[in-house]
Amino acid sequence: MAEATIPIAIPPQIPELYFNSLVMGLTNADVNMTLMIDNQPQIRLHLSFTTAKTLQKYLGEAIARLESVTKHEIMIVSEVEAGLQKMNEQVVPS
């Protein structure tokens, strides 16, 4: 069960960003991620290990809950890529 959080008012001028891929790295001090749209870098994030672990926990719980309710496991990027590769290898009858 997720911990209770205190709701905050989010000002409308805060920018929003969509991304559909990422590259992640680790240093001895933090986690860094480059968020991308169609493999084009959009923004770089730096997170402390504590923040990254908290993000992992809450994202994992949210996705697990969605998968449980829908009875559908969401694929990760490497699984989608493998499926696309298989599609490209199949010969389509004409």
Under DSSP, the state recorded for 44 is E
Question: What is the per-residue pLDDT for 1?
Answer: 44
67, amino acid identity: E
Residue 94: predicted pLDDT: 67
* Tens digit of pLDDT at every position of the chain (94 positions): 445 567 788 888 988 999 999 999 999 999 999 999 999 999 999 999 999 999 999 999 999 999 999 999 999 999 999 999 999 998 766 6
What's the rounded Cα separation, in Å, for the pair 88 and 53? 37
Whose CA is closest to 43, among 14, 13, 11, 21?
21
| 20 phi, psi to nearest 5 deg | -125, 10
Q: What is the pTM of this model?
A: 0.74
Beta strands in 1-94 (DSSP E): 21-26, 31-37, 40-47
